[in-house]
Amino acid sequence: MSEIPKAYEPQSVEDKWYDFWLKQNCFTADPARVSPKRPAYSIVIPPPNVTGMLTMGHVLNNTIQDILARKARMDGKEVLWLPGTDHAGIATQTVVEKTLKKAGEIKHRDDLGREKFLERVWAWKEKHGGIIIQQLKKLGASCDWTRERFTMDPEYSRCVQKVFVELYKKGLIYRGKRMVNWDPAAHTALSDEEVEMIEEKGHLWHIKYPFIDDQGKPKADEFVVVATTRPETMLGDEAVAVNPKDPRYTKLVGKKVLLPIQNKPIPIIADELVDPKFGTGCVKVTPSHDPADYEMAVRHKLPLTVVIGPDGRMTAVAGKDFERLDRMKARQLVIEKLTEQGLLVKIEDYVHNVGYSQRSHVPIEPYLSEQWFLKYPSVEKSRACVELGSAGASPAAVGAPADSSEDVANSSEPGKSGRLFAADEASAAAPGAGALPKMRFHPQRWAKVYDHWMGNIKDWCISRQLWWGHRIPVWRKVMKRNDPVMETIDLTVGHTIDKGGLVELSFAPKEGGVSYSRNEYKWIDDEHFELEIITDSPAEIKMLEDFGFTQDPDVLDTWFSSWLWPFATMGWTGDKSQDSNTPTLRAFYPTTDLVTGPDIIFFWVARMIMAGYEFMDDLPFHNVYFTGIIRDKQGRKMSKSLGNSPDPLDLIAKYGADALRFGTMRSAPLGQDILFDEQNVELGRNFCNKLWNACRFRQMMGSAPVSGASAGVPPAEIQGEIDPKLLTSDDKWILLKLDQAIRDITEAFAEYKFSDATATLYRFFWSEYCDWYVEASKAVLVKSVTELNMSNESGATPSNATHLTNRSFNDLTARKANTLAVIDFVLSHTLRLFHPFLPFITEELWHGMGYADDMPENQGGKTIMTAPWPKSLDDDFKGHYGLDDCYLDLAGAKYDLVTLGRNLRREFNIQANKKIKFVLKPAGNIPAHDVEVIKLLLNAEAVELDAGYAPPKGTPMVANSVGELYLPLAGLVDVAAEKARLTKEVAKCEAELEKVQSKLNNPNFAQKVPPNVLQEHQQRLAEWQAKLARAKAALAGLG
């Protein structure tokens, strides 16, 4: 840092250090290094969409993860932050399909065919897949890139298949014809979680269904009225239902009405599901297009008439006029026709919720189709392991991702961690938790949401009618009874059952020895049956394909692969019995923390927990940190269509990655949504600049006392560097403030309160260090010898200046050196405290300031990344340097007097740059140094120390415990102005006194209040009384 630019220039710094970290393998995790002394810390990235772009949401999320990872490294842990990407089935397929359509290459993906289309998706993935990873690197993410994973890597795919087969064998996966949520735009089934309920203003149409006479003709005056929000579905009605207990309709049950337009007689049935209080109490029943109606249809054995096809258009069954018509257009037409026929009784405005596909943003269609479902595994354990916010629960993290401040302060042991070497700690930390380890959510209120969902869990529709994804590992072939193939592969039929039923087969190739799979077959007719084989064995698959079996065309829900992320990325083989876990799994699973958005609590978090228990027999993470959602200044969600989402890369280019990180973290309190404002990033930039310049100032003050060696070394080794005898009250004050900051920040970490940590750092560094300490230090650093001598002769009383009496050049040098040592001590600690938040600038300064040179290679010598996290100052240290808490008050009172003096300047309109003289009448002994500091901070020409000062009438004065500070305005005294000022002051004092006194006067107060509070109030009373007395005296002096 020989040439120091006036302003921090992040662009030149960031790439340099990121490359350095990569080259030095600073991010790689080695399970072999994990030991009781070096516990593991791990975190898996929520894999972003492989072809996605970095959003502000990613910035927030990954900054937090990076902060946790970097802090853990400084705590001496072996850190694995495992990165990767998700194939994101629907999203990616849709993007590629759209792009190809736009380019005019295809009208529909069928034009290319599955194989060719998939080639294009892979090509797209290759082209765009690296972008988001590069963007994360720009942000400073310290992921172990050697372990980057993709959910469609071959090994990962094998895990997915293995899991499918295993769950199938356990009977948890099954295939069935069900009413599912159908996305007519994407042409696929969706899970319940992928459906968004949106409130819409719609209508309730009341329709007459006439009874029929003996000739099958509609009766003109006898009818029932049904109400519906979806008139187009009436084309597929198969009944009208009433409640069996509804006296209005019981006698109608069994009769028939004529379904209008279709002119089809349909029965009136009775079913409990009908709410007699709603509408007319009569419900039209459309078995194929409404889940509730389907239920009734099954009970009453009604035909399943399909009038809306998978593309959202009406089918031929709907009738000639409707065929191929879009469902919304069909609705119009139905209304028209009913109106013509006089069957529309009324139209009511009606607000109701409509299910929308979260992906395609079109209304979903209940659709009857054959799909694969999963009964969730390990539900009980998964539900029980999450700590619900009960009383007495400690807010501290589980698995110790960050040590409590107590630990850091008083223990030299490396931080403890859950898992490998302290696996029982997590459970021990949860009193009465039984055998189950506990997981904690931050903020905890999400646990309730989770618990509620887990308690009402429904089977998961896992099949998707897409091409991009993990294909379902199921093969089928229609075969004849006595098919020769059966001979060849030596299928042994366990037992025979009736046609149409299912049977278990054991599948054993002739040579024998290959795995057992569970299979099914279905009779199609007397001669033919379809054999279905579920397997993940490559050998079996090969054989099946040779025999002409075809694989199920569907793919699995993306989340069916993501839910394995915490262990499938660590080399899981699925072979639990042989304990074949990889060293990575053994060292880093379960992971310590998960950082994610609450919007995927069901999609991902809950499912990972269940998969963890089911396949690893252990929870996947100890703590889950839920970020807020990033919104724009108006509180709207960030979205591409609104164009309100800034490109983080632009922000990094403009302000620097550190600025973006700091600004984001400062405005992101735990558990609250974040309103993004570029001003936050600007604040971060300004802060980096402040940090930069504070270090620049240090550099400009000359070389460090003893090659700067004092800086980074742990407190015990620093004793030769800072001379306790030479410490000023300012030095002691800032060291005590540093100590407090270390405690506060470490505590904030333990509670995942990153915005608190940044706020504390900001306040400490800017307000305390820069505004007070650095300015005060100039009294030593920028003084010439002569000036010092002069100020001493005029100011200090001899008795208080013992260490100044023999003032010599050497003395001044020693004092300067000591101040620099204190500065180095503070800065080297501060840089480390900042490093998790501001990785780039702190690394640059760490080296530039020479602090790296003084540290052992693996303790910060190579990089600040591995420098030890600052410990708060222990009692020995404080004792040795005389850091008594009284210095907080001593120096504090001095600064307070300065503020009062500045205030005075301001009130008497003395320009900021005008040097004037003050007179200080000290209340007691005051070191010359302190007088010098007061003079400097007041920007005064001089501060005359005069214990017997007799001010001319009307001389403005302020005072506190330090003494009385006068502003002699030689001949310019405006008695009236001072009178006005003091009168105001008196009024204020009296008002405050009134407040305190009324409390103290209350007899109950003295009796019931705790002693410390009482004392506080009495002290406050005394203070205001003193102030009042001074003001009154001054006022009286004016005459």
Partner RNA sequence: GCGCGGUUAGCUCAGUUGGCAGAGCACUACCUCGACACGGUAGGGGUCACAAGUUCAAGUCUUGUACCGCGCACCA
Which positions from 758 through 777 interact with RNA, judged by CB under 7 A? 759, 762-763, 766-767, 770-771, 774-775
Cα first-last separation, the chain: 61
DSSP state of 258: E
Are 243 and 275 in contact by the 8 Å Cβ rule? The answer is yes
Nearer Cβ to RNA, position 126 or 275?
A: 275
Q: Residue 7 interacts with RNA (CB under 7 A)?
A: yes
Q: Residue 683 interacts with RNA (CB under 7 A)?
A: yes
Nearer Cβ to RNA, position 118 or 204?
A: 204
Strand, coil or helix: what is 977? helix
Query: What is the rounded CA–CA span in Å between residue 916 and residue 304?
Result: 96
Nearer Cβ to RNA, position 265 or 669?
A: 669
Separation in Å, CA 219 to CA 211, 222, 339, 565, 1033 = 6, 6, 17, 64, 106
Strand, coil or helix: what is 299? helix
Instruction: Quote the least distance from Cβ 340 to RNA, whole Å.
Output: 21
Q: Which of residues 781-840 bind RNA (CB under 7 A)?
A: 782, 784
Query: What is the rounded CA–CA span in Å between residue 163 and residue 627?
Result: 30
* Residue in 1, 317, 449, 888 binding RNA, rule: CB under 7 A: 449
Query: What is the rounded CA–CA span in Å between residue 25 and residue 871?
Result: 26
The continuous run of DSSP H or E covering 891 comes out as: helix 886-907
Is 134 buried (19+), middle (13-18) or exposed (0-12) by CB count in 10 A? exposed
The continuous run of DSSP H or E covering 918 comes out as: strand 916-922
Separation in Å, CA 445 to CA 324, 441, 551, 598, 889 = 48, 8, 44, 11, 40
DSSP state of 953: T
Q: Residue 991 interacts with RNA (CB under 7 A)?
A: no
Site string for RNA, 453-492 (x = CB under 7 A): x--x------------------------------------
Query: What is the rounded CA–CA span in Å between residue 733 and residue 771?
Result: 13
Instruction: Quote the least distance from Cβ 198 to RNA, whole Å.
Output: 9
Q: Residue 990 interacts with RNA (CB under 7 A)?
A: no
Candidates 340-348, 506-514, 570-578, 911-919 — which segment interacts with RNA by CB under 7 A? 911-919
Instruction: Give the tokens for residue 269.
Output: 């049935």
Q: Residue 276 interacts with RNA (CB under 7 A)?
A: yes
Q: Residue 273 interacts with RNA (CB under 7 A)?
A: yes
Strands 440-442 and 621-626: parallel
Q: Residue 1015 interacts with RNA (CB under 7 A)?
A: no
* # of chain residues touching RNA (CB under 7 A): 89
Residue 485: count other Cβ atoms within 10 Å of its Cβ: 17
Q: Which of residues 225-264 bind RNA (CB under 7 A)?
A: 226-230
Q: Residue 678 interacts with RNA (CB under 7 A)?
A: no
Q: Which of residues 532-591 bind RNA (CB under 7 A)?
A: none
Query: What is the rounded CA–CA span in Å between residue 673 and residue 647?
Result: 19
Instruction: Give the tokens for residue 154.
Output: 């071959």
* Residue in 187, 264, 690, 847 binding RNA, rule: CB under 7 A: 690
Query: What is the rounded CA–CA span in Å between residue 186 and residue 466?
Result: 8
Place of tokens 């099958």: 216
For residue 323, which phi and psi values (nearest 5 degrees)? -50, 135
Instruction: Quote the least distance from Cβ 918 to RNA, whole Å.
Output: 14
The continuous run of DSSP H or E covering 487 comes out as: helix 484-489
Q: Residue 700 interacts with RNA (CB under 7 A)?
A: yes
Separation in Å, CA 311 to CA 189, 445, 955 = 12, 41, 90
Angle between helix axes 928-937 and 886-907 (nearest 10 degrees) is: 40
Instruction: Quote the least distance from Cβ 336 to RNA, whole Å.
Output: 19
Q: Residue 976 interacts with RNA (CB under 7 A)?
A: no
Query: What is the rounded CA–CA span in Å between residue 20 and residue 745?
Result: 28
Nearer Cβ to RNA, position 250 or 899?
A: 899
* Residue in 25, 146, 639, 679 binding RNA, rule: CB under 7 A: 679
Candidates 221-229, 257-265, 523-531, 945-953 — which segment interacts with RNA by CB under 7 A? 221-229
Q: Residue 748 interacts with RNA (CB under 7 A)?
A: no
Residue 834: count other Cβ atoms within 10 Å of its Cβ: 24
Q: Which of residues 598-637 bind RNA (CB under 7 A)?
A: 602, 633, 635
Instruction: Quote the least distance from Cβ 680 to RNA, whole Å.
Output: 8
Q: Residue 778 interacts with RNA (CB under 7 A)?
A: yes
* Residue in 267, 669, 868, 882 binding RNA, rule: CB under 7 A: 669
β partners of residue 199: 353
Separation in Å, CA 964 to CA 580, 796, 894, 941, 976 = 78, 16, 11, 18, 20
Nearer Cβ to RNA, position 120 or 753?
A: 753
Instruction: Quote the least distance from Cβ 655 to RNA, whole Å.
Output: 8
Q: Residue 391 interacts with RNA (CB under 7 A)?
A: no
Instruction: Give the tokens for residue 956.
Output: 């403005």
* Residue in 217, 480, 499, 906 binding RNA, rule: CB under 7 A: 906
Instruction: Quote the least distance from Cβ 263 to RNA, whole Å.
Output: 21
| Contact partners, residue 285, CB within 8 Å, separation at least 6 | 237, 238, 239, 240, 241, 266, 269, 293, 296, 297, 302
Instruction: Quote the least distance from Cβ 278 to RNA, whole Å.
Output: 3
Instruction: Quote the least distance from Cβ 881 to RNA, whole Å.
Output: 24
Instruction: Give the tokens for residue 35.
Output: 């030991």
Q: Residue 992 interacts with RNA (CB under 7 A)?
A: yes
Site string for RNA, 876-905 (x = CB under 7 A): ----------------------xx--xx--
Nearer Cβ to RNA, position 228 or 537?
A: 228
Instruction: Quote the least distance from Cβ 10 to RNA, whole Å.
Output: 9
* Residue in 73, 137, 208, 284 binding RNA, rule: CB under 7 A: 284
Nearer Cβ to RNA, position 994 or 1016?
A: 1016
Instruction: Quote the least distance from Cβ 456 to RNA, whole Å.
Output: 6
* Residue in 166, 999, 1037, 1038 binding RNA, rule: CB under 7 A: 999
Q: Residue 8 interacts with RNA (CB under 7 A)?
A: yes
* Residue in 279, 414, 724, 861 binding RNA, rule: CB under 7 A: 279
Q: Residue 697 interacts with RNA (CB under 7 A)?
A: yes
Q: Residue 197 interacts with RNA (CB under 7 A)?
A: yes
Nearer Cβ to RNA, position 578 or 1012?
A: 1012
Strand, coil or helix: what is 72? helix
Residue 1: count other Cβ atoms within 10 Å of its Cβ: 15
* Residue in 493, 1013, 1022, 1029 binding RNA, rule: CB under 7 A: 1013
* Residue in 1008, 1015, 1018, 1033 binding RNA, rule: CB under 7 A: 1008
Candidates 52-60, 175-183, 214-222, 283-291 — which segment interacts with RNA by CB under 7 A? 283-291
Nearer Cβ to RNA, position 53 or 449?
A: 449
DSSP state of 504: -
Strand, coil or helix: what is 212? strand
Is 216 buried (19+), middle (13-18) or exposed (0-12) by CB count in 10 A? exposed
Instruction: Quote the least distance from Cβ 283 to RNA, whole Å.
Output: 4
Q: Residue 1009 interacts with RNA (CB under 7 A)?
A: yes
* Residue in 1005, 1035, 1037, 1038 binding RNA, rule: CB under 7 A: 1005
Are 17 and 838 in contact by the 8 Å Cβ rule? The answer is no
Instruction: Quote the least distance from Cβ 689 to RNA, whole Å.
Output: 3
The continuous run of DSSP H or E covering 283 comes out as: strand 282-285
Instruction: Quote the least distance from Cβ 906 to RNA, whole Å.
Output: 4
DSSP state of 236: G
Query: What is the rounded CA–CA span in Å between residue 241 and residue 267?
Result: 8
Instruction: Quote the least distance from Cβ 920 to RNA, whole Å.
Output: 17
